Chains A and B, each alone.
Chain A
Amino acid sequence: MQQAARATMPTRPARKPKKNYRRGDVFLAYVLVGPLILWLAVTILYPLLSAIQLSVLDVKVIGSGGEFVGLANYERILGNERFWAALGRSGVWVISNAVLQTVVAFATALILRQRFPGRSFARIWIILSWIVPTVVVVIIWRWMLGTSGGIVNYLLVALGITPAPIGFFSTGPGAFASLVFINSWRWFPLTAVILLAGMQSIPEELYEAASVDGASAWQRFRAITLPSLQPVLFVLGLVGTLWSVNVFDIIWLITSGGPSSATTTLPVFIYDTAFKQYNLSRAAAASVLMGVVLLIFAVLFMRFAGPKGEETAAS
């Protein structure tokens, strides 16, 4: 966490000599910050511990069972091919979303840097698809990508790109790819806005000097923009991965994990195990395992892709 905190948190403006706490300040600070910390302890820390507890019991639905079964749930989960398949799909999901979003977001940020009428308006409203409820995103794309009456299929056929309407959600790979597209459509503006802010903090003189030296646009991008954006890319890589692995509603509301589990990522697997297969304890065990995997990822990412590192990729 150390490096992440350093990357995201600016040191506060120098004020007083350090470690010279004012007693009134200290008391006030604890009174002010206390309620939030307490709230988070009760709604995050306590549930985390109770997930571990639930995972060693035998609870099918709330109020039933409750016998201690040790690590039996973990054995069942680790021996379940569907769990491993879901873990793999979550990995593919995170990587394909990251690649698509990073490319589109970079292009968007570069476009929004140019001068054009309505630029300041565009820089704000670009975020539109990120702020609308996911259920609206789902309705939009289910309708537009539909096989009968869907505008996308109509255009594809009318322009002669495909002979017949495509069932975007009817094959496994098709459904997965369509979901990646829809999710990226929702998230790329946020990435773009953050990249743009990062680009704006790069001094203009650097570009001018490079232009004078005859550097091409691509060379300027490689030599100035990318390195300067390293801290931003690091934050986006960490936060973006954890947010994107968590995506549930878009997948559930469009494919429910199908067809034949092709879009069952870990969150869908956990939800399905708990509330469709009615096996809460086993779902809790899967949650704990997912938490461990993410923790390992976060530690490795901070260790190897930290702001000082060489290879800060926006994964």
Chain B
Amino acid sequence: MPTAFRSRFGVLLSVVILLVLVVAPFYWIFAGSFKTPQEILSPQPTFFPQTLTLQHYDKLLASSDFPRYLLNSTLVAVLTMLLTVTLSVMAAYALYRLEFPGRRFLTRIVLATYIFPGILLLIPLYGMMTQLRLVDTIWALVVINVTFAAPFAVWMLQAFFQGVPYEVEEAAALDGAGRITVILRIFLPLTAPGIASIAIYAFITSWTEYMFASVLILSDANRTLPVGLAGIIGQYQVDWGLLLAGATVTTLPVLILFSLVGRNFIEGLTAGATK
């Protein structure tokens, strides 16, 4: 049937357009990072690099401060992840699995904080971190990233925590296991995909954060990736090759981590809004 064929063709065409819109820009920086400086600035763009070169990666990793930024970002992200997971798993268990006075109220408080605009806290948190002498340390960033990651993480855990039947925990309790043992040995392993998802959400949140890092970090040695890369953008003569290589290396960990939890991540992300 021609109409069936036409609609089939329409679907495929729209999928391709969507794909180009989302993926092509990433291909473009990835391909660009392997081009020679002359080819990058050539008025005639090339779809494939004409001469593959690793010179930008070489410069990035061997003779720039990038490795330092990478290390700082990794430290901040891992610490953010550990703290976020601990705080939000504990809180989510209480909010979604236990019955206690004030539960609804506290759930709403956590919900209200995840939509809270961070810009409103920029000035006072800067003042607070100065008083605590945490300015120019990675701890200042860890504290702030946990604040912005944890409430959303609790929200994402909802779908996973409410999916476990209460009978599972009750059966284990009947076997004489204590409450904490049941949580650690039975409940948490069952919800591992959700916990992995929020761990990666926390990592990515921290990996991306620019605004607070740009005011709370003063010395070059303590900069994170976004601030470091922004420094390269801000230079008078932008070294595009270096920047494209930097962007590629910065994106890579996010892709790897996300590929581990993709489906669960999306499930957690959407469950709260649609139930």
* A9 CB contact (under 8 Å) in B90, B99, B107: B107
Q: Does B104 contact A (CB under 8 A)?
A: yes
- Cβ of A212 within 8 Å of any chain B Cβ, yes or no, is no
Contact A10 B11 (CB under 8 A): no
In angstroms, how far is the closest chain A Cβ from the Cβ of B44? 8
B25 within 8 A of A: yes
**Which of A135, A253, A271 is B225 in contact with, Cβ under 8 Å?**
A135
The answer to whether A51 and B123 have CB atoms under 8 Å apart is yes
**Interface digits, B36-67 against A, CB 8 Å rule (1 contact, 0 not)?**
00001111110000000000000000000000
B270 contacts A194, CB within 8 Å? Answer: yes
Q: Which B residues touch A206, using CB under 8 A?
A: none
Task: Give the CA-CA distance A139 to B232 in the complex, in Å.
Answer: 10
Q: Tell me, yes or no, whether B71 is within 8 Å of chain A by CB.
A: no
How many residues of B are counted as interface, with CB atoms below 8 angstroms from the partner's CB atoms? 100
- Whether a CB of chain A sits under 8 angstroms from the CB of B150 is yes
Contact A36 B271 (CB under 8 A): no
Cβ of A39 under 8 Å from chain B: yes
Report if A39-B150 is in contact (Cβ < 8 Å); known contacts: A29-B94, A193-B270. Answer: yes
B250 contacts partner chain A, Cβ-Cβ < 8 Å: yes
How many angstroms from the CA of A43 to the CA of B162 in the assembled complex?
28
A32 interface contact, C-beta 8 A: yes
Identify the closest chain A residue to B215 (Cβ): A275
Contact A274/B111 with A54-B127, A132-B254, A193-B270 known, Cβ cut-off 8 Å:
no
B42 / chain A contacts, CB cutoff of 8 Å: 149
**Does A24 count as interface, using CB distance less than 8 angstroms?**
yes
**Could you tell me the distance in whole angstroms from the C-beta of B74 to the nearest C-beta in chain A?**
13
Distance of A51 Cα from B247 Cα, bound (Å): 35
Interface magnitude class on chain A: 35 or more
* Contact in complex: B263, A124 (CB < 8 Å): yes
1/0 contact string of B234-269 vs chain A (CB within 8 Å)? 000000100110110011001000100011011001
Closest to A111 in B: B14
Q: Which of A154-211 contact B (CB under 8 A)?
A: 154, 185, 189-190, 193-194, 196-198, 201
84-119 of chain B: CB within 8 A of chain A? 87-88, 90-91, 93-96, 98-101, 103-104, 106-113, 115-119
Q: Which residues of B contact A248 (CB under 8 A)?
A: 119, 210-211
A32 to B100, CA, bound (A): 12
Stretch at the interface among A76-84, A218-226, A233-241, A304-312: A233-241
B126 at the A interface (CB under 8 A)? yes
Contact between B115 and A238, CB atoms less than 8 A apart = yes
Tell me if B111 and A5 are in contact (CB < 8 A).
yes
A48 within 8 A of B: yes
> Which 4 pairs show the lowest CB-CB distances between chains A and B?
A197-B270, A47-B124, A246-B117, A36-B91
**28 chain-A/chain-B pairs, Cβ below 8 angstroms:** A8-B275, A9-B272, A9-B275, A10-B275, A20-B99, A25-B100, A28-B98, A30-B100, A33-B94, A44-B113, A44-B121, A50-B127, A62-B126, A107-B14, A122-B18, A126-B22, A132-B26, A132-B208, A135-B250, A139-B229, A151-B28, A197-B271, A245-B117, A266-B119, A270-B122, A274-B215, A287-B123, A290-B119
